[in-house]
Amino acid sequence: MPAGTVCLAVVVWVGFPFVLLSGSVMWDKADWRLAAIHGGDWLIKILLVCLLVGLWH
């Protein structure tokens, strides 16, 4: 997997789902374990999408 693809995926992940999920844990008292599962799920999905777009491009 190219380094640029991984970097883009991590930046997108931190910019959207990580911020959203960490806010829900802090302010809405969501369970941190469930948020961690969702965060990992989002990271894998974003990595796959970035990889597919990178290979397609």
**Each residue of 21-40: pLDDT tens digit?**
999 999 999 999 999 999 99
Task: Please say whether the beta carbons of 21 and 43 come within 8 A.
Answer: no
Higher pLDDT, residue 54 or 24: 24
What's the total number of domains in the chain? 1
Could you tell me the pLDDT band of residue 1, with boundaries at 50, 70 and 90?
Answer: low
Predicted structure pTM score: 0.76
Per the structure, the complete domain to which residue 44 belongs is given by 3-56
Q: Is the pLDDT of residue 2 over 80?
A: no
Distance of alpha carbon 45 from alpha carbon 33, whole angstroms: 19
Query: How many CA atoms lie within 13 Å of 10's alpha carbon, on the beta-carbon side?
Result: 6
What does 20-52 look like in DSSP terms, one character per residue?
A: HHHHHHHHS---HHHHHHHHHHHHHHHHHHHHH
